[in-house]
């Protein structure tokens, strides 16, 4: 697969303990993105953050918190991302989803290293 030029980036901001159909939501999003044939997805775990309820979630030793912030990023063509958005909408009960234009400089898969 080769993806270069203008594309879309979806960012999904959720909590570490958010669930979908009995599994972690971040894991379910990645698996659904794979099933949809999207170029790729990456999950990041945050050290500190707050959302709509204004509760601080932090990984500081003296303020141990559960439900740390999670960010899922997915990049692909606009058409594929737009087709995937209804799936995200059905999965996410609480959180923030953003969409932005990005330029892919290089994304290639396969056996060639060039």
**Using an 8 Å Cβ cutoff, are 77 and 83 in contact?**
no
Domains and CATH numbers, the chain: 5-104 (3.30.70.120)
Q: What is the mean pLDDT of residues 22-35?
A: 98
Coil, strand or helix: which one is 1?
coil
Interval 74-107: pLDDT, tens: 999 999 999 999 999 999 999 999 999 999 987 7
Q: What is the pLDDT of residue 114?
A: 44
Q: What is the pLDDT of residue 111?
A: 54
Q: What is the mean pLDDT of residues 31-56?
A: 87
Q: What is the pLDDT of residue 58?
A: 66
The yes-or-no verdict on residue 113 having pLDDT over 50 is no
Q: What is the mean pLDDT of residues 38-58?
A: 82
Strands (E), the chain: 5-15, 19-20, 23-24, 41-45, 48-49, 57-58, 69-76, 96-104
């Amino acid at each position: 697969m080769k993806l270069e030029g203008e594309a879309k980036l979806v960012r999904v901001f959720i909590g570490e303990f958010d669930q979908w159909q009995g599994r972690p939501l971040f894991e379910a999003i990645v698996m659904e993105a794979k099933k949809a044939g999207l170029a790729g997805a990456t999950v990041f775990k945050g050290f500190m953050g707050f959302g709509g309820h204004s509760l601080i979630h932090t990984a500081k030793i003296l303020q141990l918190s559960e439900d740390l912030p999670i960010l899922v990023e997915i990049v692909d063509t606009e058409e594929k991302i737009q087709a995937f958005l209804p799936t995200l909408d059905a999965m996410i009960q609480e959180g923030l989803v953003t969409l932005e234009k990005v330029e892919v400089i290089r994304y290639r898969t396969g056996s060639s290293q060039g």
